Amino acid sequence: MARWAPNARMRLVEAAVDLFTEQGYDATTVSQIAERAGGLTRTTFFRHFADKREVLFAGQDVHRQVLADAIAAAPDSATPLEMVASALDALTGWFGDDRREFSTRVRAIMDANSELRERAVFKRVALAQSVTDALHERGVPDPAAGLAADLCVRAFFEAYERWADPAGPASFTDTARQAFDELRTALATLS
């Protein structure tokens, strides 16, 4: 495939996941990823990603935007928890059955590498900050904004762990709603 072919970013992500699965994260080079993606170059790779770790977090900017847009679009009467529940539905709606097998593979790669797990923590914090910022834009003060954001992000990742398991539940959105409800119930028991 020519270097100018469309969808280079997604081809790089898919090639990286294939190689990380086949030979391990540490054994895979950026050059190998670029070549597997259809004869692309290292330069093309670095136009899209700062390093090979980032290829596994390619959707984070989109995730942050989906969450922020859903919070902005929530009705004026919505509570902070209703806003983040709506945002959670919007985000999990992006994960159809066609992404489940891919997500399962990404989860396995992340679980096998402490460096990637550490990077995931930073990405998780950034996601929560985006939700907090979106809630602030809607007039939700701290600490309510931060707490609602933390619940949203925690529910997302708990649901992702369940859904990305090959034997996990079929619907990511339903799983996320269940995780969110469990967290809300647990929060209510703390008082």
Domain ranges of the chain: 8-55, 59-188
pLDDT of residue 4: 52
Q: Is the pTM of this model over 0.75?
A: yes
Q: Which fold has domain 59-188?
A: Tetracycline Repressor; domain 2 (1.10.357)
CB atoms closer than 10 angstroms to residue 142: 11
Q: Which two tokens stand for residue 59?
A: 């959707």
> According to CATH, what is the number of the domain 8-55?
1.10.10.60
Percentages of the chain per state (helix, strand, coil), in multiples of 5: 75, 0, 25
pLDDT along the chain (191 residues), means of 10: 67 96 96 94 94 91 94 97 97 86 91 92 94 98 96 95 84 94 93 80
Rounded to a whole number of angstroms, the distance between the first and last alpha carbons of the chain is 60
pLDDT at 1 (0 to 100): 43
